[in-house]
Amino acid sequence: MKHYLFFIAQNYSFEILRPLQQQIKANGDQVLWFVYGNAVNLDLFNADEKYTQDAASAVEFNPLASFVPGNIIPNFIPGIKVQVFHGFEWKKKGHFVIRDCFDLYCTQGPLFTDKFKQLANKHPYFDVVETGWPKLDPLFKTQAMQVNCPELPCILFAPTFSPALTSAPDLFEEIVHLSHQKDWQWLVKFHPKMDKYWVEQFKQAAHAKLQIVEDAAISPVLHAADVILSDTSSIITEFMLLSKPAVTYKNAQPEPELIDFTNPKKLAEKIELALNADEEQITRINQYTARMHPYQDGLSSSRILAAVDDILQNGKQAPKKKPLNLVRNFKMRKKLGYWK
């Protein structure tokens, strides 16, 4: 029986890693979740999921590999360290930063694969394998969530949390106004790190046609909406994988597949444009998502495990060992209280 560790620090990790867990268990193997920090809601664990907050227990579990949707993992945990990413945020600062923690990067699609292979030439101590993203394995099989007014066109507002990029402050008044004026169903889904002030503002303004989504799972929400409204968030790509249009406010790098705008008063006009998207727009969307995540077979988790097995059997292709990363690992040992 093979042992695998999930190293998590945020609640969004559950939806990313559970498809991978399902495949591991289907293979007859075991998973232990190692919770780092205090941002994870432990109530979100299912009864059949094993987790620990104790570093010694994670080490004693002796995993063959650890899967990480975040940026770091301590080097004292046994096994190879695998980056599986927490989104498609290639436009955000830090997405392509190499932190000397990982043996293997499992990339979502060609855009990411090409960039990380270039980085591997400069930092020749990790392998890069294009596998697809485990979170999306169930995307095409998920049923839409129930909305308050299913007969109306449905717009999902899903802003990023980053203060420099979030559209929530600028669009709040216009969204509330349109929710009363237009026959549209609004869904509002916040990132777990969203500023609590704006979460509360939207909750106070909520009504039948302005519905706040509390559920952690995003796939049913994506299926329910006809259009997404966001800014510079990875959820835009997830939504467009369903061949549906995205409206963005001040996107960091607005591209032809996005309906971008910079004046909040133009919001209604842009939503109307998206609701009536033509075939040319949908074609641009599909061409974009093919670069981001070409896999719609629900088998990304299987490809990730196959990539790990290949390293375990044949070793890494990378010619050098990872740097010791002494300062970061000392800080993590101190935070986790592990000195063995």
Is residue 113 a contact partner of residue 258, using CB atoms and an 8 Å limit? no
Do 257 and 328 fall within a single domain? Answer: no
DSSP alpha helices (H): ranges in the chain?
13-26, 55-61, 110-122, 168-181, 196-205, 219-224, 235-240, 267-275, 279-292, 300-314, 326-336
Do 11 and 132 fall within a single domain? Answer: yes
Is residue 100 a contact partner of residue 321, using CB atoms and an 8 Å limit? no
Q: Which of 199, 164, 165, 177 is nearest to 267 (CA)?
A: 177
Structural domain including 45 reads 3-138+298-336
Distance CA 125, CA 245 (A): 39
Distance in Å from the first CA to the final CA of the chain: 26
Do 304 and 178 fall within a single domain? Answer: no
The CATH number covering residue 265 comes to: 3.40.50.12580
Distances (CA, A) of 222 to 16, 238, 290: 15, 8, 18
Do 158 and 51 fall within a single domain? Answer: no
Do 178 and 223 fall within a single domain? Answer: yes
What is residue 52's predicted lDDT score, i.e. its pLDDT? 98
The residue type at 249: Y
Its pTM stands at: 0.88
**In residues, how long is the chain?**
340
Do 42 and 133 fall within a single domain? Answer: yes
What is residue 95's predicted lDDT score, i.e. its pLDDT? 80
Do 175 and 276 fall within a single domain? Answer: yes
What is residue 89's predicted lDDT score, i.e. its pLDDT? 79
Distance CA 313, CA 85 (A): 24
The CATH number covering residue 22 comes to: 3.40.50.2000
Do 8 and 35 fall within a single domain? Answer: yes
Task: Per-residue pLDDT tens, the chain, 340 aa: give them.
Answer: 999 999 999 999 999 999 999 999 999 999 999 999 999 999 999 999 999 999 999 999 999 999 999 999 999 999 999 999 998 878 776 789 999 999 999 999 999 999 999 999 999 999 999 999 999 999 988 999 999 999 999 999 999 999 999 999 999 999 999 999 999 999 999 988 899 999 999 999 999 999 999 987 899 999 999 999 999 998 999 999 999 999 999 999 899 999 999 999 999 999 999 999 999 999 999 999 999 999 999 999 999 999 999 999 999 999 999 998 899 999 999 999 999 8
Q: Which of 277, 170, 273 is nearest to 230 (CA)?
A: 170
Kindly give, in sequence order, each residue whose CB lies less than 8 Å from that of residue 301, ignoring residues fewer than 6 positions away: 19, 20, 22, 23, 24, 134, 137
